[in-house]
Structure 1
Amino acid sequence: MDTSERQPRKQGWRFVLLALVLAVAISGLVRSLWLDVYYIPSESMEPLLEEGDRILVSRVAFNSEPIRRGDVVVFDGRGSFAPLSSGQGPFVDAVSAASQWFGLTGSDTTYVKRVIGVAGDHIQCCDAAGNLTVNGQVLEEPYLYPGDEPSKQKFDVVVPQGRLWLMGDHRSRSADSRGLLGAPGGGMVPVDRVIGQPVRIVWPLDRFAEMPRSAQAETPPKNGQ
């Protein structure tokens, strides 16, 4: 084979490599600014989300409207749900980050939960009938996992400004704000830690479906409203 045959082949490989680099760069830009994909690693949001689901998350969903009760949110749990960590070393962190980026594994610091209380809400568990109350009114929760109680753990909290009270739909399998009452922040997650809103299940294909913004649950008014 002469050099004239090798030259077009070499140029072809360069073109493929350049196209691949550009595709990854564009994908990274889109995922950092508008849309991202996350892997669901647990049963905590069943029946809405199942372990192994991949969800498409809008990073701009809450730019025009505030987060409200009933919304499902993806958030960075470092400093609240997860301890701040320096990592496990450059190589392990890089492999883990790549696996999470491709939606193959979940993140140890990224969580998906439902907003039960926003700033100013007084949330109590539970009333005589075993229901959660928000601002003295029963919170209707049609999204709960069948057979689960609203909560076996009792609590009485007021959500401060800039924070959220978050719980999983599968209450008996969810580690959420309830388990952090004695920790710094009292289980409340800063609003600025919210990454975005899940908008669609994209994998597996038999579960491919749009996710509504909220569960259309009753949302009691805040005190004084």
Structure 2
Amino acid sequence: MTTKIIVSYDGTDNDRDALSLGSLLARTGAALELAYVRHLHETGSGRERLAEHDAEALLEAGAAAIGAPETPRHVILSASTAEGLRTLAVQEQASVIVFGSEYRTAKGHVDPQASARRLLDGGPVAVALAPAGFAERSHDGIATIASVSEDGDPCPRETAEQLARSLGASVAQHATREADLLIVGSKPGTVTGRVTISAAAEYLIELATCPVLVLPRGVALCFGAGGA
């Protein structure tokens, strides 16, 4: 089964960073989809049709921006972006949701936006975080992948190795600032299949200058042929 990646996209600069990261990860052969969460149902059929049209046009422009106009797109109606994306990910059997960093994050740094933080606290799928300004970088690919796990969880390392094979990258022996992607495991005691990060992992994310992929506890993601 092909690994599925959903990008949370609203056309802002930081979500363009998420789109760029999702497109980069899709080079593994993963299926890429875009999602936009609307929070209100407009009163009046005309206003509602216009709001729906604008949302669909926004996602269409995002797909065109990465040269993949046929990318599947989802407009969700939910009071909460995090809950809307969580529900979509479960329905679509997605493995990863990709977010940009918080508004006003310094370029080159990672600061999870509010919706991402909610999914980092008990979410059912992996969360990928793009540094601010990531879309502006030239992307020749991912050359080095680092992983960090706690209490012997092998899944971050296994995921790093899967990604490295798919992308022709190398796996660093230790977390390093030179890495192009950092994979972080959930903390010990987390329910299997759920995401929860420790204070140490949160600090590591704050220091990161590359994209970060946070995994559910006990879950290794598969990329490339036979990905699941």
TM-score, with structure 2 as normaliser: 0.28
Q: Higher helix fraction: Structure 1 or Structure 2?
A: 2
Q: Higher strand fraction: Structure 1 or Structure 2?
A: 1
TM-score, with structure 1 as normaliser: 0.28
Higher RCO structure, 1 or 2 (CA under 8 Å, sep 6+): 1
